[in-house]
Structure 1
């Protein structure tokens, strides 16, 4: 069984049930499944074959959902990409990922016009973003197909899906690595199906659930928890194009939502904006938090204001992503990521890979049917991360006597900005590209809204260079959440005897750290 087959099963059993609601429009499972078939049929008519790579570059919308499930049904491997990425960030993934087709919006085609000559893309399936973009003079017009027209044409063709094997790669999720270049985590059909199924069981999803999808669908947290898991159970997905407290409150109230999933930053925004909306979450049975550790004070304040229970979990792209979650039938422990979910095992080990006693800190490792096949075209990195079928997360954790896990420290040097991973090396490489920068280092600084923000420390040869100029330079090359919130100028960066920059010394210079 895989995600596409399960969607078809649900549609056959209950075709009139609402699969999703987008901007007030309800779409049934029968209608959704038909659109998925139509897109898959069109891909097959263009001779795309099982295993070909297709990028999905758009926000939360029916286009994402139909594109994702349609490509899977046709046997293609999907590579979701953040549509707000810069040209440089997007270009790397498209090239490294050997992408042959792209699903995107007309408003983003200008980016692809800059990149296309470096890529192997044969077709762009373009959806209307209602922004009035005129593509008639685009240099890529011969490669473009209207997403709407594609569905119409695909609906007129007979289609029989290919046989998919569970070990075949369904999705490649690019996640930043310590080298500064993103790594493509290869998730198989088995990985995705098992995690969506186990999460659905663990969180007791049913056809009566109305799940708010306000997290970005290109991120694995939303993809599994707020999209795949509820769809597998015949639930309804409430699609929020872009997160805002007002959009969430409105959707929850209007459609009597039962489940909300978000990162701590979202909960903070909802708390601040919802002082007069205490009753808005009356229908919510479960609030899920992940992406980064939730401050216990925030958790308690949110629960008190909205009279709901917030349960934290843990996951990472390489594990599809969920490995642990606070159980619904046992006490929720604030600050804990919970216990093992179904069919997944977490363990805390020392540097030799030996399990440490309860209460002791070590590295968190996980294994189960959800663990990735490996990193795309990176066998050495794969061998480092997966050893004896265990995925080494790089996160330091401890386990208590009742099997609840606690993340003690995050991956070395990683910065978590609003739930997004930011690796200093990637930001530093951009700073080093500026002609006036001779040295650069980036660390995380606590932030009340985002959890953390990146702060850059630089040494410059130009005394006239300003913080504003450097931040603007970073904005040209990095997505918004990776851009340093502050730049500090120094005469020299602190180093040890071997010349390695001492990040701890830089963190000590920050306030409240």
Structure 2
């Protein structure tokens, strides 16, 4: 079984059940499955075959679902790419990933008109029409499209396909998706996820969160990100739920769709919850249909979690995952007490443990590296055997995240191993300092990094977004009340906003680059 065959089965069992809603339009599982069949066979008619690599440069839309599942049904490997990446980033991923076909927004046509000569392996481009693209196309000459080999529209590929397409036999170990990591430590690496990886993690997540056909799940996280792909797309579709597609995140759009469609599940990163909490137009009654909120992608400050739950009267279950694990390994359980600040316990079929530098498990409360084992762990990095051997040892995936456990088996992320600050030989974890500052009533957002220090090797530097006039000395004094002297920030810089990636995750590396460290 895989995500494509599971969706086909759901379409047979519940053909009229609504699969997704998008900007006033809804499609049933029967209609979605037919479109997936048509698109998969249309790709095959173009010369795309099992094992070929297809890149998706799309936003949140039905195009993404049909493109993703259509490629999976054909047995092609999907490489999701952030459509707002720079030309250099796009070229690197498409070339490194041996991409044969690109499915892209029409807004990207002018970009690929310039880039296609640098992409010799790409044979076909499939263009998806958008309202903005149609408007801009009025001013563009039709001749520009002729520079692309085998250019087609998404609609024409669908029309050339057949609704009763079954596709080739897929093996559990076949590569379904290659997810390129953000490249914080160098060039991006392509994590190869198999059909078994995706199916098992989606199924285990859906079961863990008790998703069923009555659920309506808000998908406003970017679909090209693995958090959305598994938790807000594959898991709901696995169990016959309805996905409410939100093209791009804004507090107003989330409040609107949750209230209008009586959504039951919302998934977001901590920054999204912060924006929702700060939004003046948000009302508790707008979220009364939600049975569960899910947070991941980054550690959620405890103060933010508690303030959000108090204001909107809804539980947030914080979890943990990474691209190399499809991604989920932990969630706060729904049938036991949720522990604020914890990423919860291991989900079914997945093992997590905390180890020292020798790979030995450490006692409860002691900080070490989190490692993971289970059917969700990637096959390896694409064309990078040495990196794969370093990341996966004796069947365990080494995450690079520092963590600890408690006596009840709950895990706590302390920080990224590479983000740890060493002040005079003492370890300082940025999250610990951030948690303190998030408790200050005037702090909206905060990020902590290490900077060079002549006396202590490194010092703690904070970047803060505040909502009222508050001084550096006031915040440093506030930290002195809760932190050991070596953990107290040596300086605080105020910004209008913190740099973030497209999922809303705060980018510490961008702040370090700003400082030249």
Q: Return the offset for 1:117.
A: 1.2
TM-score by length of 2: 0.81
Q: Return the offset for 1:488.
A: 6.0
Q: Deviations over 1:170-217 (max 9, x none)?
A: 000000345410000000000000000000000000000000001000
Asked if 1:192 corresponds to 2:186, the answer is: no
Asked if 1:143 corresponds to 2:144, the answer is: no
Whole-Å separation in 1 of the counterparts to 2:53 and 2:366: 43
Change (3 A) 1:447 1:222: farther
- Contact 2:268/2:296, CA 8 A, preserved across alignment: yes
Residue among 255, 267, 271 paired with 1:265: 271
Whole-Å separation in 2 of the counterparts to 1:25 and 1:8: 21
SS of equivalent to 1:4: helix
| Alignment match, 2:112 | 112
SS of equivalent to 1:137: helix
| Alignment match, 2:45 | 45
Q: Deviations over 1:26-63 (max 9, x none)?
A: 11101111000001001111221111000000100000
| Alignment match, 2:258 | 252
Change (3 A) 1:135 1:350: farther
Q: Return the offset for 1:485.
A: 5.9
- Mapping for residues 419-438 of structure 1, pairs under 5 Å: none
Whole-Å separation in 2 of the counterparts to 1:322 and 1:279: 30
Whole-Å separation in 2 of the counterparts to 1:44 and 1:444: 54
| Alignment match, 1:10 | 10
Asked if 1:155 corresponds to 2:162, the answer is: yes
Change (3 A) 1:353 1:306: same
- Contact 2:297/2:505, CA 8 A, preserved across alignment: no
Whole-Å separation in 1 of the counterparts to 2:320 and 2:236: 18
- Mapping for residues 398-409 of structure 1, pairs under 5 Å: 398-409=404-415
Q: Return the offset for 1:115.
A: 1.7
Whole-Å separation in 1 of the counterparts to 2:386 and 2:260: 50
| Alignment match, 1:124 | 125
SS of equivalent to 1:113: helix
- Mapping for residues 81-96 of structure 1, pairs under 5 Å: 81-96=81-96
| Alignment match, 2:326 | 320
SS of equivalent to 1:280: helix
Whole-Å separation in 2 of the counterparts to 1:480 and 1:143: 37
- Contact 1:336/1:405, CA 8 A, preserved across alignment: yes
- Mapping for residues 260-409 of structure 1, pairs under 5 Å: 260-274=266-280, 276-409=282-415
SS of equivalent to 1:393: strand
Asked if 1:33 corresponds to 2:39, the answer is: no
SS of equivalent to 2:191: strand
Whole-Å separation in 2 of the counterparts to 1:136 and 1:445: 51
Asked if 1:234 corresponds to 2:235, the answer is: no
TM-score by length of 1: 0.82
Whole-Å separation in 2 of the counterparts to 1:60 and 1:321: 19
- Contact 1:253/1:280, CA 8 A, preserved across alignment: yes
Whole-Å separation in 1 of the counterparts to 2:511 and 2:358: 38
SS of equivalent to 1:71: helix
Q: Return the offset for 1:409.
A: 1.5
Q: Return the offset for 1:114.
A: 2.0
| Alignment match, 1:62 | 62
Whole-Å separation in 2 of the counterparts to 1:383 and 1:239: 38
Change (3 A) 1:330 1:148: same
Equivalent pairs, count: 441
Change (3 A) 1:372 1:70: same
Change (3 A) 1:146 1:326: same
SS of equivalent to 2:286: coil
Whole-Å separation in 1 of the counterparts to 2:87 and 2:167: 34
Whole-Å separation in 2 of the counterparts to 1:382 and 1:135: 46
Whole-Å separation in 2 of the counterparts to 1:300 and 1:252: 21
Whole-Å separation in 2 of the counterparts to 1:204 and 1:166: 25
